[in-house]
Amino acid sequence: MTKSTRRSRLSTVLALLILAVMLFPVYWMISTALQPHSSIASTALVPTSPSLENFRAAFETQGGSLLTSLVVSLGAVVVCLALAAPAAYGLAQFGLRGSRGIVFGTLITQMVPGIVVANALYSAYAELGLVNSYAGLILADASLGLPFAIVLLRAFMVSIPSEVIEAAMVDGANRFTAFVRIVLPMSRNALITAGLFAFLFAWADFIFALTLNTTDDVKPVTLGIYQFIGAHVSDWGAVMATSVLSAIPAAILLVVAQKYIAAGISGGSIK
């Protein structure tokens, strides 16, 4: 074994060690979820007789919340992309006066704390009858992904050569049909990235779920888990099973869309 292969094997071992330490909480969550009747006192390090009992309980008590989260998050993705895609295109390609100001504005939004938005939205929602409504939560959650989506999509669309669009317009398409037929298909990957993040942001939302709902009519799973632990927790197994279920979108994203994520995190947050 040469020195360099030994060194690279050592690196791999070290990397796996780092991974084990960093992901221990995730392991612990899954392990606890797999141990039925895990009392407050005892949780075995390795589940000796794993069972899906807790997941059944989780579905029974939190199934509705999971569905609510899904509906709200998908709704937020639709709102987010429907607003961001045309805007990003306009900002990237039209050379409109004031474009810079708008891009600047999307950066500014990053400094507005969610709780401040909730503070003002709650009173406005109360007047508009949007408290405890799906529409209200979807609209609010879309705000978590929108600035990100605009910045990300714009950065991509700047690189679309305007000749391509002009060629389509020579063939009789107007700006809008050119956008739908040419720009959107070309931007597919960027749209997927933006959509995935919009989904994840909405799925992870807790502040709006907590503040814009006064009843249990619209209760996403993050709020469900929070209420679960608010009372004296006697069934950690079920809490952890729900947690595992609510972490699934993130896990899927890591597997399916891995290559988009790193690009998304750095691209969207900095550009």
Pick the closer one to other proteins by CB: 8 or 189. 8
Which of 158, 164, 167, 256 forms a contact with other proteins (CB under 8 A)?
A: 158
The residues in 172-201 that bind other proteins, with binding defined as CB under 8 A, are: 175, 179, 200
* 176: Cα separation from own chain's centroid: 29
Q: Does 128 bind other proteins (CB under 8 A)?
A: no
Q: Does 125 bind other proteins (CB under 8 A)?
A: no
Within 211-250, the residues that bind other proteins by CB under 8 A are 211, 222, 225-226, 229, 236, 239-240, 243, 246-247, 250
- Does the footprint of other proteins cover residue 261 (CB under 8 A)? yes
CB 18, min distance to other proteins, A: 7
Residues 31-70 that bind other proteins (CB under 8 A): 32, 40-43, 45
> How many Å apart are CA 1 and CA 14, to the nearest integer?
18
CB of 11 to other proteins, least distance (A): 4
Q: Is 167 in the site for other proteins (CB under 8 A)?
A: no
134 burial level (CB within 10 Å; 0-12, 13-18, 19+): middle
Question: Quick one: which of 193, 195, 203, 219 contacts other proteins (CB under 8 A)?
Answer: 203
Task: By CB under 8 A, tell whether 268 contacts other proteins.
Answer: no
Candidate residues 76, 121, 165, 168; the one interacting with other proteins per rule CB under 8 A: 121
Q: Locate tokens 């899904």: which residue? A: 70
Q: Is 136 in the site for other proteins (CB under 8 A)?
A: no
Q: Which of 37, 52, 60, 105 binds other proteins (CB under 8 A)?
A: 105
Pick from 146, 165, 178, 238 the residue near other proteins by CB under 8 A.
Answer: 146
**Smallest gap, in angstroms, from Cβ of residue 270 to other proteins?**
5
